[in-house]
Structure 1
């Protein structure tokens, strides 16, 4: 049992989590790998963990097999990987109390042009100028952030369909989609025949019967379901301990040569080995038909989960809670990255193809998987999920990302019209409560489902990184009374201040991209003077890489040279229209220049590109606060405060400013109370709390008592504490002398009667006089002390 590493926590780690603050124990960082590579950790400086070793992901009890965890599916971390950082506990944060509407949505903010809007060509096949940074290579279901009910085990024998029939309403030609096998004039439709439109042969009757032995090895038990390639069968493998297997038909089964070619084309699927992907055991033939033999996954598909929720809800659609929907997809995304690294695309992703087995997930149905460079094989997809460009340019990593976004939306809401009106678009924010109430989720789905594939996430790991951020936000905003923690971002440093954020220099810095070709050279540039540094970066850099240009931009910001920063941002975007970091420094320059409209546009565009990051939300909140959109700003601040402890102070101050501006003192005080004692911003929060309370001009001693307790509870310099003490006691004495006091009332540690307040004031004046620098001021304070003192005859 080890001690918790969270700052300020005295707990111990039990079963991977602290028994006091609930945070996961420190772990090694997962290794990053390049597309097409094995899970070795060359970039991380050490070999991957050996097979059989324990998985290092938080809360995961799995072990490493073939370089991947057999439980969570993540790549093995390098044996010398560095531990990830984590922040400390914080006080509770109240969620948004008012009803969330489009009025508070960041979708109201005008966004700067980005990506394909800036690119020369705007077609569906726009070429992306970059593939995305490898920093985003990214942990059981829920990633340790939320819990998902486990699926009950399924007895294989009870999964058999006792009456294997395909309803006439679902009989369609596999080639042209024409309705076939339908009833006419009271005569039932044929279950076998030829499509009258294209001539394609069809059959909806099972070819295998219980007891049949296929390839001398697989004994048929019955039919499970009917899919696009025919019936799917359950069988026992008589050669391997009677294990349960599934047989699925292959196309071209009527032509021996075509069948052999189909089997040869799909042999690569047997090489796919990942704990989150159903395993392919064999390819066999039986009576002229070909079958894939695969692992039996006895679980529940997400489509079945949705159907059961709908049945329990009286027939009305009951979507998954957002956190659960995100958790499912976060769990399965490593499987997509694995396939993409092998040069494969999944093609036909949807809720039907994700199976929950206990508290683990499996990606099933590899029938549509194909090589990215395969231009000949049939393309499989489902209307409403398939990307619009697939018909013209074929499937790709980007089209897989599209199917993931559409699946997430179907899981989160009743997506009416997704196979019709919104076949290749999303419903408007104004008419979609899910989008209006969940900005980050909306931008995440919107980026997945961009019409131009170049505008989507560049990889499954990039998407997973942002999806984790959105999940953290969702948990934070709907959970009250729990301590938020700080999690290091891959893209941004933690905020450099725990005070009010009003200047560009107080916003989080971009993290260095260690994959940049000039990263090593930049590390050796030691000039501290911004003018000298800017000249060196401009004239002496071996290459004007993105990191060099960003460093130039920051140097120009230090010189308040806004024009140069804008020029550098334009230069970066001209070379790569998808370089959102250029928009970040462009927004910083606009903020420095007090161009709040420009700042809002730039920061909102960054928010849309990395919707799981908090830094763009904090920046956009400041720009909206100063730029006339306080409602949007308040909501963004609350998201930051409720999600990450490192952001809570700066965000709480922003909320308090907005609420104080609209003269809601009680709500402003509530926001300031979010700042925990462990924060460096706590003393300032107590001062601001006192200012808000004193600013009411209240004649209530209870309000003055709160103000005094705010000052007394924080550590601050004696002069500041003395000034607040005198100010509060002066107001209290005036109230008492006017007859507004009550018996046994107190203001902080002082009795709220005339004698007690006079004694406190005298002491306060004399302490201030002792520290006064100017003689006239000292004399004035001593005179005040003498005037207010309680006179006696002794």
Structure 2
């Protein structure tokens, strides 16, 4: 076996063409005589693994777990979602796709019956392209059956081969009966294989139903006589772009040999493809063999190609096709289903974004953040991959739409991290914050429990209509009304538990939650357990509950906000900083995250960044003024402001002057600022020329300013005692004089 040509790798290339150490495919030879695998094609495939399903069909649990189906699966959007720019891929001249010397590479030759290697060279001699399998005796023939110029059904003129796939050769042809349009003919790789023939016939039946803008169009199914043998061909749309697999190969040829797609680009592609898979699932089909090879970009559109492995989800007889490293581990024991397709999407997304040996070492697992910096940098992305590729099908996303919703949130988070521009989105799972917390006071876990977002009501729940008609004005009245409900559904029990939490009746809330039975993967009970633990002051227990929700919903902001609160309450300011930062950087509607991030930064001594965060609260927020005042305090409070400068004081004074405040609030803020300035001057600050609120930064001026604001506060005081105390403060601070 040849050594791996990649720099720094001492592995060897096996007969399948992959390195046994780095796991990457060997770079293609660059000699001019080697035919290139065309990027303009309708289907390519690594060796598909044929599996005979022997088990009785099992319920995947997708319908029960997912609170929503795939009703939006036909919705399409632009590549990049308007969030990032995806480079356009020019449409190629179809003639450029034709292979000069079409042949199946030796490392791609396998027996279609038993999967053994066939047609391999020995002792320097090339392998046979026709013959019989040494293991099972089944015949093989890897030669193209159609020649250039041959006419199929008197309609399709063959121009040549453009690619080969796991189930057959792909030919480019002209349709002379329909405006000489370009079409593709897909035939069988081995016409003597009954399973392959059956798969093609099944494909014809399925694809007649398929009509989706992201799925390659099927025009016709024809037969052609080759001597005494009749071969079937599927006539489909020609897609003249570049496959995702070829994009990655091009990157590795021109740059780092382990290069992958930018994360935002790979996610954008996956977001575009998931509705197509959801469409297939909606009409009872499983795609079975999703991978980067089978997605082509042409101009600004994606196409899902190579539908040869598509099958009905309840088909117990047809052979199952998939690709090693992508196929879900339960396939073969259970039938393919929407959740096995979800697994392949997760695996393909990982392959697109970081290099790893997905054929062997990580055949059914993923490397961790310690091995892949990308996964350490984007925790939400890592958690999304873990859920999509969970070995337990019941723990995966329940539908393509559910995965798409969470991937959309991760996409916004990643894009915001790359350029620091917020990418807000509307959550399909949570309400907005019920109220902002810890804005102008210390963190209070009871208040947080009453402020965090709550799960949106599942409209399909039997109790949803009853909840919509609830009229109770208080939590106590609500409890009585819910207990008298004609049924006790999950939504009614969750609302009952929340009412108990609001009243501080935590034992009753936990009792209700313990009696609430949900399907595997339903995170709503865990969320309410977290709220109950927060109200009980147990941040550690609450965090465990919120972490499980984060695992299920990696694209949602609410779990990250809740985890940040738990970390702050436990004194882990590094973790609090990280999670508050993710939320605030992505979506500026979570005002609590801005104040939380500022608190974490101030504890860490990062005063100027805390000021920047508070100043980033938008003017449209009802807490804008509070944020501005907090920024002034963060900038100038002596106790927190090591390195306080004249510039800090001057800028803070200008900021306060611009604010539209009532008299009492302005007086308090002015007094605080001038007290900081006076302490700074009193500590021996150098000579200055600036002014703060009209006062020069000298002792006498600052004392006069403070005296003015103390007397202003005294006039506003609510009680005689407060007024006397403030007048005494004014008298103590006023400049000394003979009068």
If the length of structure 1 is used for normalisation, what is the TM-score?
0.79
Offset at 1:444? 0.7
Change (3 A) 1:168 1:379: same
Change (3 A) 1:193 1:617: same
Matched residues, number: 665
Change (3 A) 1:403 1:765: same
Deviation per residue, 1:398-448 (Å, 9 max, x gap): 100000000000011012x21111111111232221211111101111111
- How far apart, CA to CA, are the structure 2 residues paired with 1:381 and 1:738? 74
User: Is 1:339 aligned to 2:284, yes or no?
Assistant: no
Matches for 1:68-467 after TM superposition, within 5 Å: 130-134=64-68, 137-138=71-72, 139-250=77-188, 253-254=191-192, 263=201, 266-287=204-225, 288-313=230-255, 316-415=257-356, 417-467=357-407
- How far apart, CA to CA, are the structure 1 residues paired with 2:331 and 2:189? 21
- How far apart, CA to CA, are the structure 2 residues paired with 1:170 and 1:234? 21
Q: Secondary structure at the match of 1:235?
A: strand
Q: Kindly indicate whether the alpha-carbon contact (under 8 Å) linking 2:607 and 2:641 is maintained by their aligned counterparts in 1.
A: no
Q: Kindly indicate whether the alpha-carbon contact (under 8 Å) linking 1:124 and 1:451 is maintained by their aligned counterparts in 2.
A: no
Match of 2:471 among 504, 526, 530: 526
Q: Secondary structure at the match of 2:211?
A: coil
Change (3 A) 1:269 1:466: same
- How far apart, CA to CA, are the structure 2 residues paired with 1:770 and 1:257? 93
Q: Kindly indicate whether the alpha-carbon contact (under 8 Å) linking 2:190 and 2:196 is maintained by their aligned counterparts in 1.
A: yes
Change (3 A) 1:264 1:747: closer
User: Is 1:593 aligned to 2:533, yes or no?
Assistant: no
Deviation per residue, 1:229-287 (Å, 9 max, x gap): 22111111111111111111147844899958953663231221111000111111111
Higher mean Cα deviation, 469-478 or 558-567? 558-567
User: Is 1:614 aligned to 2:557, yes or no?
Assistant: yes
Match of 1:476 among 412, 416, 428: 416
Higher mean Cα deviation, 541-550 or 777-786? 777-786
Q: Kindly indicate whether the alpha-carbon contact (under 8 Å) linking 1:507 and 1:615 is maintained by their aligned counterparts in 2.
A: yes
Unaligned runs of 5+ in 1: 1-122
- How far apart, CA to CA, are the structure 2 residues paired with 1:334 and 1:129? 17
Offset at 1:513? 1.8
Offset at 1:137? 4.7
Offset at 1:184? 2.6
- How far apart, CA to CA, are the structure 2 residues paired with 1:672 and 1:586? 31
Deviation per residue, 1:346-376 (Å, 9 max, x gap): 0000000000010110000011101101111
- How far apart, CA to CA, are the structure 1 residues paired with 2:199 and 2:333? 25
Partner of residue 686, structure 1: 628
Partner of residue 764, structure 1: 709
Change (3 A) 1:731 1:266: closer
Q: Kindly indicate whether the alpha-carbon contact (under 8 Å) linking 2:149 and 2:159 is maintained by their aligned counterparts in 1.
A: yes
Change (3 A) 1:170 1:577: closer
Change (3 A) 1:601 1:791: closer
Cα RMSD (Å): 2.6
Matches for 1:631-780 after TM superposition, within 5 Å: 631-647=574-590, 649-692=591-634, 693-694=636-637, 695-696=639-640, 700-733=645-678, 735-736=680-681, 740=685, 742-780=687-725
Deviation per residue, 1:708-730 (Å, 9 max, x gap): 34544444443233123223324
Offset at 1:493? 1.2
Q: Kindly indicate whether the alpha-carbon contact (under 8 Å) linking 1:137 and 1:462 is maintained by their aligned counterparts in 2.
A: no
Q: Kindly indicate whether the alpha-carbon contact (under 8 Å) linking 1:388 and 1:424 is maintained by their aligned counterparts in 2.
A: yes
Offset at 1:147? 1.1
- How far apart, CA to CA, are the structure 2 residues paired with 1:294 and 1:242? 14
Deviation per residue, 1:483-512 (Å, 9 max, x gap): x25422111111133443642111112222
Q: Kindly indicate whether the alpha-carbon contact (under 8 Å) linking 1:223 and 1:234 is maintained by their aligned counterparts in 2.
A: yes
- How far apart, CA to CA, are the structure 1 residues paired with 2:195 and 2:458? 52
User: Is 1:544 aligned to 2:488, yes or no?
Assistant: yes
Q: Tell me: higher relative CO, structure 1 or 2? Use CA pairs within 8 A at least 6 residues apart.
A: 1
Offset at 1:195? 1.1
- How far apart, CA to CA, are the structure 1 residues paired with 2:545 and 2:92? 51
Change (3 A) 1:509 1:291: same
Deviation per residue, 1:751-788 (Å, 9 max, x gap): 32345324422321221111012224323434554565
If the length of structure 2 is used for normalisation, what is the TM-score?
0.85
- How far apart, CA to CA, are the structure 1 residues paired with 2:263 and 2:80? 11
Q: Kindly indicate whether the alpha-carbon contact (under 8 Å) linking 1:125 and 1:393 is maintained by their aligned counterparts in 2.
A: no
Q: Kindly indicate whether the alpha-carbon contact (under 8 Å) linking 2:274 and 2:400 is maintained by their aligned counterparts in 1.
A: yes
Q: Secondary structure at the match of 1:290?
A: strand
Higher mean Cα deviation, 651-660 or 390-399? 651-660
Change (3 A) 1:257 1:331: closer
Q: Secondary structure at the match of 1:556?
A: helix
Change (3 A) 1:733 1:344: closer
Change (3 A) 1:148 1:218: same
Offset at 1:201? 1.8
Offset at 1:204? 1.3
- How far apart, CA to CA, are the structure 1 residues paired with 2:273 and 2:431? 28
Q: Kindly indicate whether the alpha-carbon contact (under 8 Å) linking 1:320 and 1:411 is maintained by their aligned counterparts in 2.
A: yes
Q: Kindly indicate whether the alpha-carbon contact (under 8 Å) linking 2:573 and 2:603 is maintained by their aligned counterparts in 1.
A: no
Change (3 A) 1:195 1:634: same
Partner of residue 104, structure 1: none
Q: Kindly indicate whether the alpha-carbon contact (under 8 Å) linking 2:412 and 2:423 is maintained by their aligned counterparts in 1.
A: no
Offset at 1:318? 1.1
- How far apart, CA to CA, are the structure 2 residues paired with 1:386 and 1:486? 34
Offset at 1:227? 1.2
